Structure 1
Amino acid sequence: MRPLRDAQLGAFTFFASALPHDVCGSNGLPLTPNSIKILGRFQLLKTITHPRLCQYVDISRGKHERLVVVTEHYESSLNDFQKQVQTVSPERVLQIAYEALEGLEFMNKHGMVHRALNAQNVLMDGKGKVKLAKFGLYYMTDHGADVDFPIGYPSYLAPEVIAQGSVHPSDPSQGENPLPSGPKTDVWSLGVLLFELCAGRRLLQNIEISERLKFIITLGCIDDIVTVLAEEHGCLDAIKELPENVQTLLRRCLTFLPSRRPTPAELLVDPVFEGVSCLYAPFQQPVGLFSSSLRCAHLELPEDISQLCKDDDEEYLGERAIDEVYHLWCLAGGDLEKELTNKEIIQSKPPVCTLPNFLLEDGESFGQGRDRSFLLDDTTVTLSLCQLKNRLKDVAGEAYYPLLEDEQSSLSQSNSSNELSCTVTLPLIIRERDTEYQLIRIILFDRLLKAYPYKKNLVWKEARVDIPPLIRGLAWAALLGVEGDIQAKYNSIDKDTPIPTDRQIEVDIPRCHQYDELLSSPQGHRKFRRVLKAWVVSHPDLVYWQGLDSLCAPFLWLNFNNEALAYACMSAFIPKYLYNFFLKDNSHVIQEYLTVFSQMIAFHDPELSNHLNEIGFIPDLYAILWFLTMFTYVFPLHKIFHLWDTLLLGNSSFPFCIGVAILQQLRDRLLANGFNECILLFSDLPEIDIERCVRESINLFCWTPKSATYRQHAQPPKAQGDSSTNGFGKMANYYSSDYQDMPKTDLSREPLALSDLKAEVSPRISAEDLIDLCELSVGGQTKRSKASKPKILAVDIRSIEDFGRGHISGSISIPYSTAFSPDGELVQCPATGTLQSFRGRVIVVISHAMKSAAMFATHLVKVNYPRVTTLDGGINKMKPTGLLTVPSPQI
């Protein structure tokens, strides 16, 4: 969106038609309210950006089908201009006409018609340039089908519109529905406006509406409509004195037959504008973030470089985009309905005053007729920015232009206020409602994303703090590494040819996050269908599984007006976190994933793991939809946004930690219940604190060795230099990418058969992880500072003799024979004594044979020992490294 500058924010309201409550659609579901339909169509209007059109910003849905629309607004209109100026020069008339036609032509290119042109809806900015307002009312209401009032003003309606009558498009009793108005209807309306401008008076204002309409229809019998109108209103001399090109323009606009009347595009190249068109440069659509064109090609330095320097009293807020200003206005306490109520546009009445009219037997009537507050009032109320400006008065000017070259977060540098720095430590939900904090974060991310992918690392760094909700869609795309001309790729996919999956998609969409107004709209369903179908068609080796619609929902909601970006994000997300989950036969992938998840539960919470295993409540019963939809099936969208803000920073193993964190929030109830109660508990999952879940997930993630979550069916290694994540905090280097992305060596984990994997309760870790976490010297260098406390403890269960021949430095010896008999029976608990003092560290059980190591680890889990692992390949993997230590002989 373009900057606010001298514009204001305005709001107007209207009611959608109410639907009967006892009627269902062909699919058996209740009919979609007309207000929802309008809300869905409105979203496209936010993307229509042109210097001659007032930018649409937002729409909100209230009670009783009320809709409030927020738009760019200016106090001055063509009506005010006529009152201020007695006579308008012909040059000015041509300029106004040309500017209005520019806006109309741009609308027509997007398949829209104004239909509501009048002097009040032609606004003028501070430079006197035309800005067409309410141009989307006809489009968003489906050509008037979804409202009870006609779109347009009788004095300005074209003859063909009047000839159709007042038939409601959605009324089946009226026979065939009228055709929607075309671009030429706006040309007639513009002609009437220009005539009024030249004549200095309003047309047909003192005549009854019915007489007005009859008069316009009778103009069809007249050759020179302009002359007749001038005679009718006593301004023939004024019209005759106009230059020939202005008179020609009026006659061309006020042509009775639509077949002979030009379109806005045809008029713009008409010779009447020969001396005017050269004053206007062609409009160039701004290049999007993901495109094959240069985003900076249109940038030019001003001739006077001092214009870039701003005074201390400069209006910095006016340089921000309109949608940003409105977002901050809402955070600063802005209330649309309150603003409209204060201006008496919304009039609330006690319920008893709104009772319908009814008659008694004697003919006496009570109640009232239709409440006039439900009729259309097209007044636009200006939203005051005083409260917002007062809230931001302490924000320094430097905050609006943060410097990024130092590769440091500019949060602390952009504002000297200590309060802003303290805000970072507050809960996320508070930060997202803090006006000053959100201003700083939005500006910072806006600059970083404009420099994407050059500043990709800084985007990662700032995303670890938080992501501003306003630009979450673009931030996610950057975190997922989306690049290139995504629109061209999306357009090349066949989304229209029927495929076998269509039926299942049609069934799933009406059940996917339909509590959300946007996704439940017909436009939302249509976009859902296209994005899902594009993914299915473009991935012929994969199939549509139920749950893919839930996975698509967050991306579609955030990029509702950019299907290509929603598709690109989804296509990047699935290989990273759900590789091969959508194979036709995905049982081996799912089973391996659930087995690793079971091991993660045992690793982090052995007591809970033991209880769930005892009652038979295995992950297959509750976790398949968790991971197949990455939790979008079980959480509402607002929670998914916060969850995925962090999920996208982690590698493919991070979902395991989220799953364990959810179980730990339900831990007390799970431990106290049996199988049946647990089934009931998960059939209607209790409220989950997402912020706590995220915080605990990160902690679990940082305690999990990378190779512990190794899966042979995970995504294959990426190309060298393609780093997909930056990890969390101090663990960034260790968790910078998936274990699968690391070059494979003799010390790496080996693939394991699913049956063998299921037989082990504790996860395995690789020799690489052991060397790294034990801080063993490799080539004379250590992995981390030796002053840091190690997180790991190596437990060698070989015999004393074998331990003496060579062991890992710092490991302790607990021979397997002292704890278990040759037939595997427990003799003495190995968790007592020496091992007890190391409780809480990551324990790696090392042996010659993996079977004995797995049995030893299983017993530690049974006695509720956390963070127990085994060394993949045993001690034999370590022998070639030369890192085994032989104890010095005792003298």
Structure 2
Amino acid sequence: MRPLKDAQLGAFTFFASALPHDVCGSNGLPLTPNSIKILGRFQILKTITHPRLCQYVDISRGKHERLIVVAEHFESSLSDFQKQGKTASPETVLQIAYEVLEGLEFMNKHGMVHRALSAHNVLMDCKGNVKLAKFGLYHMTDHGADVDFPIGYPSYLAPEVIAQGSFHPSDSSHDAAPLPSGPKTDVWSLGVLLFELCAVRILHKHLHTGIRYFSFSGCMDDIVTVLAEEHGCLDTIKILYIKIHFNGTLRVCRYFAVMTFMFLSSRPTPAQLLGDPVFSGISCFYTPFQKPVSLFSSSLRCAHLELPEDISDLCKDYLSERAIDEVYHLWCLAGGDLEKELTNKEIIQSKPPICTLPNFVLEDGESFGQGRDRSFLLDDTTVTLPLCQLRNRLKDVAGEAYYPLLEDEQSSLPQSNSSNELSATVTLPLIIRERDTEYQLIRIILFDRLLKAYPYKKNLVWKEARVDIPPLVRGLAWAALLGIEGDIQAKYESIDKDTPIPTDRQIEVDIPRCHQYDELLSSPQGHIKFRRVLKAWVVSHPDLVYWQGLDSLCAPFLYLNFNNEALAYACMSAFIPKYLYNFFLKDNSHVIQEYLTVFSQMIAFHDPELSNHLNEIGFIPDLYAIPWFLTMFTHVFPLHKIFHLWDTLLLGNSSFPFCIGVAILQQLRDRLLANGFNECILLFSDLPEIDIERCVRESINLFCWTPKSATYRQHAQPPKAAGDNGFGKAATYYSSDYQDMAKTDLSREPLALCDLKAEVSPRISAEDLIDLCELSLAGPTKRTKAGRPKIIAVDIRSVEDFSRGHISGSINIPFSTAFSPDGELVQCPTSGILQNYRGRVIVIISHPMKSAAMFAAHLVKVNFPRVCILDGGINRLKPTGLLTVPSPQI
């Protein structure tokens, strides 16, 4: 959106038509309230940006179908100009006409008409340029079908509109709404506006000059007479003299009267009027409007970059240089309340419940009760939202904060009088940070600059996303984290989303059940966009199929990019291969089973006690975790929790969802340990409240404790170029995906599903073991708080084999001392030295692998955490030359 500049934020309110409560739609579901329909249609208006149109910002839905619209606003209007009694020069009339037509033509290109054009809806900025207000009211109300009041003002409506009569959606006598108005309707309204602007004032002026005669010829006599009578100047017209024809202003008025007050078939459109020779002398002063280039396109974003004429002007009011939607977002954080502002201006008037009782009728037909509440009628008064509270809240923010230097290697938080306070804010819970006005201003500005420099500043976007992502820029930030680039709009438009396919029926069934508590996604526009994005994904991935749950995956991306279906589709198409590779195959059983088996091993690795209990009662992940991973938790959490969860998920690799699943189980740990199978089933049928911030924090900790190769899956995404996607220097080793690493002789080998299921503990690769040991000796970043290494290698071969060569620092607990040749436990291996290493990552090294699996399974059974097995055993390490042979004692 464009900067606020000298504009203000304005709000106006109206009511949508109420629907009967006992009527359902054709699908058997309750009818969608008209207010939600309007809310869905409104969203596209936020994308319509033009110098002649007031920018729409937001819409809020209240009680009893009340809607409050926030938009760019200016105090001065054409109505004020008329009230001042000023005479408009021909040049001024032409300028106003041209600028209004510019706005109307731009609307027509987007398939919209104003229909509510009037003097008080033609606003003027500080430079006297036209800004059309309330131009979207006709569109958002479905041409007036969703409200009980007419769109437009009778004195400005074209004859064909008045001839259709009024239409009330609640009136059962009308079978259908009248046909929508076209662009020519606004041309008539413009003619009336110009007639008011120049002709009427001049006629009043000449009334005092003694001029006695004036007439128009042809059918224009009757039209102008009707208009003059409407505006109370019929007598003036009759006494004017013909020489007024020589007045330039009236010639302009007469021209527009001829052009605009024609019959509908002959009346020109705004585009045709703009090309008329009458504007040849003024059009050269206007630069054609060029829509700003979007972040993801093939065009050069800086091609039309312009510096301000006087940079010193930027230092006067930093807030006015920010985007309108950004200012409104900060206004809400600073305590702004739309209903309160409208109530203070008596636009919203509350009544006691006793005064709102409905009518009732007696047997004799006598009715009692209140009449029609006039507060439900349209009051188009726009209330200016005061920004003083916001400016006062941001008064301590230094000017440098509005223009951060991206190349500065110091802290991203700019130096200001409140820098210490901002530094302290970073440590507060995320929910508090997202409501802190000053902190959000700093973060929004920083992300705005980084995203404008994307992909050049992609690494910095990753770095700042580790701290948090401002809600206002979350959609673009996610796209950057997913690596979206190129002309996504052209690719999306090239996909056939209209031809019927077999999946259409299932999509139609799933959409009305997907996150329908959200007003935006439950609107008809939301359903249409849902359908298009899902169908585009299905059509563009012929090797995959639609599975239930794909709609839930689409929901977060569609919500954040509601007005950019192409970006929602691109994000979804990049997200699925990274985290859900081959999950949507026609036969995905082998992929799902491998995924659930690895998840079971992760539970045993991090929480063996819980794993043992769940296995004993038969509560396996197949019973509860499939919806978790198939939808990446979007099926079990509301959107506001998914946003916080995915902010971190997108920074991790494809193994991070395992850690999220374990973190969820650990929050429910006490209840799971205390219950049996039936109770656990009931518990997960209605999942209790989950603390998402705690879940994210614990997931990161689990992620950093998990060796890369422990979550290896042969059905994961094939190797690709790895990027920086970790959680900081302390977790650099764990940041990249094991699947992305080049395979060597030390890499982990694929394992058959039956063999994978037979092992309780995960396997790690030899290169993983070597890297972990080297990192643990390199510095304190890989050590525990006590300074001990995080990993210990336990070699369970015989003493003789151990003495022939072993990993440096490993300990030897021969398998034969703990288990008999038949596999029976002889002596618990945890009673000795191994007890001192509880809590570290324990790597079991042996040959053959069956002995290592049995040894690891026993450690898990006695609740030893972080137990894993070296894939390939000691034989995998022999070619490396890293085995240590002890020196013979003399």
TM-score (structure 1 length as normaliser): 0.95
Secondary structure, counterpart of 1:71 in structure 2:
strand
- Report the Cα distance in structure 2 between the residues aligned to 1:637 and 1:776, rounded to whole angstroms: 39
Match of residue 208 from structure 2: none
Is residue 128 of structure 2 the alignment partner of residue 128 of structure 1? yes
Question: Which runs of 5 or more structure 1 residues have no equivalent in the other structure?
Answer: 205-218
Q: Does 1:318 align with 2:317?
A: no
Shift of 1:175: 3.9
Match in the other structure for 1:443 = 445
Contact kept, 8 Å, 2:118 with 2:156, in 1: the verdict is: yes
Q: 1:735 to 1:220 in 2, by over 3 A?
A: farther
Q: How does 1:577-726 map to 2 (within 5 A)?
A: 577-718=579-720, 722-726=721-725
Query: Offset at 1:774?
Result: 1.0
Supply the distance in 2 between the matched residues of 1:660 and 1:322 (Cα, whole angstroms).
42
**Counterpart-to-counterpart distance in 2, 1:879 and 1:783:** 29
Q: 1:247 Cα shift?
A: 3.6
Aligned equivalent of 1:298: 304
Structure 2 residue aligned with 1:874: 873
Q: Which residue of 1 aligns with 2:745?
A: 746
In 1, are the aligned partners of 2:199 and 2:250 still within 8 Å (CA)?
no
DSSP-derived class of the 2:120 partner: coil
1:469 matches 2:471: yes
- Compute the displacement of 1:368 (Å): 1.9
Deviation at 1:837, TM superposition (A): 0.6
2:765 corresponds to which letter in structure 1? S
Q: Distance in 2 between matches of 1:600 and 1:525?
A: 38
1:456 aligns with 2:458: yes
Q: Gapped runs of 5+ residues in structure 2?
A: 205-216
In 2, the alpha carbon distance for the partners of 1:865 and 1:785 equals: 21
d(CA) in 2 for partners of 1:634 and 1:178?
44
The separation in 2 between residues aligned to 1:776 and 1:75, in whole angstroms, is 66
Tell me the residue number matched to 1:38.
38
Q: Which residue of 2 aligns with 1:225?
A: 223
Q: In the alignment, which residue of structure 2 is the partner of 1:189?
A: 189
User: Contact 2:401–2:414 (CA<8 Å) still a contact in 1?
Assistant: no
Q: Secondary structure at the match of 1:768?
A: helix
In structure 2, the partner of 1:825 is 824
Report the AA paired with residue 99 of structure 1: E
Is the CA contact (8 Å cut-off) linking 2:194 and 2:253 kept in structure 1? Answer: no
The answer as to whether partners of 2:619 and 2:677 remain within 8 angstroms in 1 is: yes
State the Cα distance separating 1:406 from its structure 2 match. 2.6
Which residue of structure 1 aligns with residue 760 of structure 2?
761
CA contact (8 A) 1:239 1:247 kept: no
Shift of 1:408: 4.7
CA contact (8 A) 1:776 1:883 kept: no
**1:803 match:** 802
Q: Please list, as runs of the form range in 1=range in 2, the aligned pairs for 1:101-120 lying within 5 A after superposition.
A: 101-120=101-120
**Is contact 2:148–2:170 with CA below 8 Å preserved after alignment?**
no
Aligned partner of 2:263 among 257, 272, 276: 257
Cross-structure match for 1:278: 284
Equivalence for 1:210: none
Does the 8 Å CA contact 1:480/1:724 hold for their aligned counterparts? no
Amino acid aligned to 1:856: F
2:126, 2:746 → 1: CA distance? 71
Counterpart in the other structure of 1:70: 70
Secondary structure in structure 2 of the residue aligned to 1:382: strand
Q: Kindly provide the CA deviation profile for residues 95-141 of structure 1, in whole angstroms up to 9, marking residues without a partner as x.
A: 00000000000000000010001111000011110000000000000
Evaluate the alpha carbon distance shift between residue 838 and residue 700 of structure 1 in structure 2; reply closer, same or farther with a 3 A threshold.
Answer: same
Change in CA separation of 1:187 and 1:586 when aligned onto 2, cut-off 3 Å: same
Deviations 1:540-578, CA, capped at 9 Å, x for gaps: 000000000000000000000000000000000000000
Pair 1:308-2:311 in alignment: yes
Q: What SS does the aligned partner of 2:662 have?
A: helix
Query: In the alignment, is residue 199 of structure 1 matched against residue 199 of structure 2?
Result: yes
Letter in 2 for 1:816: F
C-alpha distance in 2, partners of 1:352/1:884?
Answer: 88
| 3-state SS of paired residue (1:373) | helix
Cα gap change, 1:393/1:220 in structure 2, threshold over 3 Å: closer, same or farther? Answer: farther
Q: Return the alpha-carbon distance in structure 1 between the equivalents of residues 41 and 365 of structure 2.
A: 46
- Check the 8 A contact 2:605/2:866 in 1, yes or no: yes
Distance 1:534 1:275 in 2: 48
Identify which range, 243-252 or 122-131, moves more after superposition: 243-252
In structure 1, distance between residues paired with 2:369 and 2:194? 46
Q: CA deviation at 1:782?
A: 9.6
Residue equivalent to 1:179:
179
Identity %: 86
Note if contact 2:730-2:782 (Cα within 8 Å) is conserved in structure 1.
Answer: no
Residue 212 of structure 1 aligns with which residue?
A: none
Q: CA 1:621 to 1:193, structure 2 compared with 1: closer, same or farther past 3 Å? A: same
Determine the structure 1 residue equivalent to 2:211: none
Structure 1 Cα separation of the partners of residues 152 and 23 of structure 2: 30
Q: 1:361 to 1:717 in 2, by over 3 A?
A: closer
Q: Secondary structure at the match of 1:808?
A: coil
The answer to whether the Cα contact below 8 Å between 1:169 and 1:178 also exists between their aligned partners in 2 is: no
**SS state at 2:568 partner:** helix
Tell me the secondary structure at the aligned position of residue 830 of structure 2.
coil
**Stretch deviating more after TM superposition (235-244 or 181-190):** 235-244
- CA distance, structure 1, for counterparts of residue 35 and residue 322 of structure 2: 30
Give secondary structure in 2 for the equivalent of 1:174. coil
Shift of residue 830 of structure 1?
Answer: 0.6
User: Cα 1:651–1:308, aligned 2, differ >3 Å: closer, same or farther?
Assistant: same
Partner of 1:772: 771
Matched letter for residue 542 of structure 1: L
**Match status 1:484 vs 2:486:** yes
Distance 1:785 1:26 in 2: 62
TM-superposed deviation, 1:167: 3.0
After superposition, the Cα gap between the structure-2 partners of 1:203 and 1:46, relative to the gap in structure 1 and judged at 3 Å, is: farther
Go from structure 1 to structure 2 and tell me whether the alpha carbon gap of 1:251 and 1:199 turns closer, same or farther (over 3 Å shift): closer
Structure 1: which amino acid aligns with 2:133? A
For residues 364 and 777 of structure 1, do their structure 2 counterparts lie closer, same or farther at Cα, with a shift above 3 Å needed?
A: closer
For residues 780 and 586 of structure 2, the distance between their equivalents in structure 1, rounded to whole angstroms, comes to 43
Tell me how far 1:360 sits from its aligned partner: 5.7
User: Hey, what does 2:53 align to over in structure 1?
Assistant: 53
Distance of aligned partners of 1:233 and 1:876 in 2 relative to their CA distance in 1, 3 Å threshold: farther
Structural mapping, 1:135-146, within 5 Å: 135-146=135-146
Secondary structure at the aligned position of 1:154 is classed as coil
Corresponding pairs, count: 868
Instruction: Give SS of 1:420's match.
Output: helix
Name the structure 1 match of 2:95: 95
Aligned partner letter, 1:707: S
* Counterpart residue type for residue 574 of structure 2: A
- On the 8 A contact 1:650/1:725 being kept in 2, the answer is no
- Aligned CA distance change for structure 1 residues 381 and 240 (closer, same or farther; 3 Å): farther
Contact 2:495–2:540 (CA under 8 A) maintained in structure 1: yes
CA displacement at 1:223 relative to structure 2: 6.4
Spell out, residue by residue over 1:642-690, the C-alpha distance to the aligned partner (whole angstroms, 9 max, x if none). 0000000000000000000000000000000000000000000000000
Greater alpha carbon shift after TM alignment, 880-889 vs 514-523: 880-889
Which amino acid in the other structure matches residue 291 of structure 1? Answer: S
Match of 1:383 in 2: 385
Q: Which residue of 2 aligns with 1:209?
A: none
Q: Secondary structure at the match of 2:451?
A: helix
- CA spacing shift, 1:222–1:250, aligned 2, 3 Å: closer
Read off the aligned partner of 1:90 and give its amino acid letter.
Answer: P
Cα distance in 2 for partners of 1:705, 1:672 equals 31
Q: Once the 2 structures are TM-superposed, how far is the Cα of residue 246 of structure 1 from its aligned partner? A: 1.1
| Cα distance in 2, alignment partners of residues 363 and 622 from structure 1 | 61
Deviations 1:146-182 (A, max 9, x none): 0000000000000000111113467563245321000
Instruction: Give the structure 2 partner of residue 565 of structure 1.
Output: 567
Is the contact between residue 716 and residue 741 of structure 1 (CA under 8 Å) also seen in structure 2?
Answer: yes
AA paired with 1:455?
K
Question: What is aligned with 1:26?
Answer: 26
Q: How many angstroms apart in 2 are the aligned matches of 1:785 and 1:517?
A: 47
> Does the residue aligned with 1:826 lie in a helix, a strand or coil?
coil
**1:201 Cα offset (Å):** 5.0
**TM-score scaled to structure 2, two decimals?**
0.95
Q: Summarize deviations over 1:427-485 as a string: whole Å, max 9, x none.
A: 00000000000000000000000000000000000000000000100000000000000
Question: Deviations 1:332-386 (Å, cap 9, x if unpaired)?
Answer: 0000000000000000000111223445679876432011111110000000000
